[in-house]
Amino acid sequence: MSSEGEKKGTTVGIIGGTGQMGSFFAAVFRRAGWEVAVRGRKSDQSLDRFLDPCDIVMIVVPIRATVGVIEEVAPLLRADQLLCDLTSLKTGPVAAMIKSKASVVGLHPMFGPGVETLQGQTIVVTPATAPEERYRPMIRVFAGDGARITVTTPEHHDRMMAIVQGLTHFLTLCMADTMRRQQIEIEEVLTYTSPIYRIQLGLIGRLLSQDDGLYGDMLQMNPAVGPVLADCEQAVQSLSDAVESGDPDRFSRFFLENAKKYSVYGPQATLETDHLIRCLVER
Ligand SMILES: O=C(O)C(=O)C[C@]1(C(=O)O)C=C[C@@H](O)C=C1
C-alpha cells in the first residue's frame, strides 16, 4: 500500500512466507512490482488484519499442515480475493479451499527453493472456483519469469505426482537402502563412477539431505501412490525373475517391451543426459 494507505497494484499475502519456498515466491512477486506481505509462525498481527488488504492469499506451509491452515484462513476471506496454495498434493487442499468465499486455484511448483529463478521450471495449476481471468495475472508473472505452466484437475495432478514424485522418490530411497544393506560405502562407489552414474547417485544424496517429513508426506498422503507401488513391486518381481532365469530371451522380452513403450522419449532423454554429463565433466 502507498504511504497514504491507498492501495495500488496487487497485494499478495504469503502465509508461510518466511520459509524457503515462501521467500522465493515473495521475491518473484516483488520483482514483478507487486506488494508482498509475509506471515510466519510467530506473527503478532491478527490473521484477519493480515488477510484484509490482500488481493491474493498464498498458503505455503508443509504438506501435513496445509489443510489445517486453510481451514483457519478460508472462512475469513471475501469473494473478491483469490486463495491459492503451493503444496505438493492438490485434491485435499483444493477441497478445503473451495469452502471459502474467495476464488480458488491450486498451484504446485515442481522444484525446491534451491533454484535461482523460475526459468525452465514447471508450475502445475489446478483451477477450482477461480475464473481464468482472476488467476491469469499471477500465471503471467510466473510465465514471464520463464516458468512452464501445466493446467490440470487436482485429481489428475495427484495421480501424476504418484509417478513423478512418488515412484521416483520411492525408487531413489530403495536404491539408497539397497547399497546400505550391501554395506558398501558411497565414497568407494563414487571412485568407480563416471558422470552418467553420478546423475542417478546424485538424486540419492540430494533427496537424503532434505526433509524426511516432506518426502514422507508426499509418499504417505497421496492415495494414488499405493496402486503405483503395487505395480512397482510386480515390475521388480518380473525383472528379478528374468535376471535370475539366466535366459537371454526372457530378459530381452522385458527390455524390448519397455524400449518400445519409451521409444519416443529416447532422443530427448539422450540429449538431456548428454548435456548433464558434459556439465559434470566440466566441473
Ligand atoms: O530436490 C528438489 O529440488 C526437488 O525437486 C524438490 C521437490 C521434489 O523432490 O519433488 C520437493 C517438493 C516439491 O513438491 C517439488 C519438488
* Residue pLDDT, tens place only, 139-150: 999 999 999 999
Do residues 148 and 165 share a domain? no
> Roughly how many angstroms between the first and final C-alpha of the chain, as a whole number?
46
For residues 89 and 1, which has the higher predicted lDDT (pLDDT)? 89
Which residues, in sequence order, are CB contacts of 96 under 8 Å at separation 6+?
A: 66, 67, 70, 71, 74
Q: For residue range 35-53, what is the model confidence (pLDDT) as tens digits? A: 999 999 889 999 999 999 9
Percent of the chain with pLDDT over 70: 97
Do residues 174 and 257 share a domain? yes
Do residues 140 and 188 share a domain? no
Give the mutation target among 64, 85, 88 for probing the ligand 1 site: most ligand atoms within 8 A of CB: 88
Percent of the chain with pLDDT over 90: 94
* pLDDT bracket for residue 101 (50, 70, 90): very high
pLDDT at 17: 84
* pLDDT bracket for residue 1 (50, 70, 90): very low
Do residues 26 and 147 share a domain? yes
Say how many Å lie between the CA of residue 57 and the centre of ligand 1: 22
**Rounded to whole angstroms, how far apart are CA atoms 102 and 104?**
6
Which residues, in sequence order, are CB contacts of 111 under 8 Å at separation 6+?
A: 121, 122
Do residues 236 and 271 share a domain? yes
With contact defined as beta carbons under 8 Å apart, do 197 and 132 qualify? no
Transcribe 13-48 into DSSP letters: EEETTTSHHHHHHHHHHHHTT-EEEEE-TT--S-HH
Global confidence as pTM:
0.95
CATH number at residue 210: 1.10.3660.10
Do residues 177 and 122 share a domain? no
Q: For residue range 163-217, what is the model confidence (pLDDT) as tens digits? A: 999 999 999 999 999 999 999 999 999 999 999 999 999 999 999 999 999 999 9
**Rounded to whole angstroms, how far apart are CA atoms 28 and 244?**
52
When pLDDT is averaged across residues 69-80 and rounded to a whole number, the result is 97
CATH number at residue 139: 3.40.50.720
Instruction: Locate the ligand 1 atom nearest the alpha carbon of residue 114 and give its number.
Output: 3
Query: 92-96, 116-120, 190-194, 278-282: which has the minimum mean pLDDT?
Result: 278-282
Query: 8-12, 71-75, 114-118, 147-151: which has the minimum mean pLDDT?
Result: 8-12
* Number of structural domains the chain divides into: 2
Do residues 10 and 147 share a domain? yes
Say how many Å lie between the CA of residue 168 and the centre of ligand 1: 11
Do residues 148 and 160 share a domain? no
Do residues 142 and 70 share a domain? yes
- Is 31 touching ligand 1 by the criterion CB < 6 Å? no
- Final residue before a domain boundary, out of 120, 152, 184: 152
**Rounded to whole angstroms, how far apart are CA atoms 218 and 279?**
30
3-state secondary structure of 158: helix
In which domain, by residue range, is 218 found? 156-282
Say how many Å lie between the CA of residue 142 and the centre of ligand 1: 18
Do residues 54 and 166 share a domain? no
When pLDDT is averaged across residues 251-275 and rounded to a whole number, the result is 98
pLDDT at 220: 97
Residue with the smallest CA separation from ligand 1 atom 14 is: 88
pLDDT at 69: 97
- Final residue before a domain boundary, out of 152, 184, 212: 152
Tell me what ipTM this predicted complex has.
0.97
Say how many Å lie between the CA of residue 159 and the centre of ligand 1: 16
**Rounded to whole angstroms, how far apart are CA atoms 61 and 58?**
10
Say how many Å lie between the CA of residue 109 and the centre of ligand 1: 8
* Residue-level length of the chain: 283
- Final residue before a domain boundary, out of 97, 123, 152: 152
Residue carrying the nine cell digits 469473494: 79
One-letter amino acid at 130 equals: A
pLDDT at 282: 77
When pLDDT is averaged across residues 23-35 and rounded to a whole number, the result is 97
* pLDDT bracket for residue 7 (50, 70, 90): low
Give the mutation target among 20, 64, 110 for probing the ligand 1 site: most ligand atoms within 8 A of CB: 110
**Rounded to whole angstroms, how far apart are CA atoms 68 and 48?**
16
Do residues 147 and 271 share a domain? no
Do residues 204 and 129 share a domain? no
Q: Are strands 122-127 and 103-109 parallel, antiparallel or unpaired?
A: antiparallel
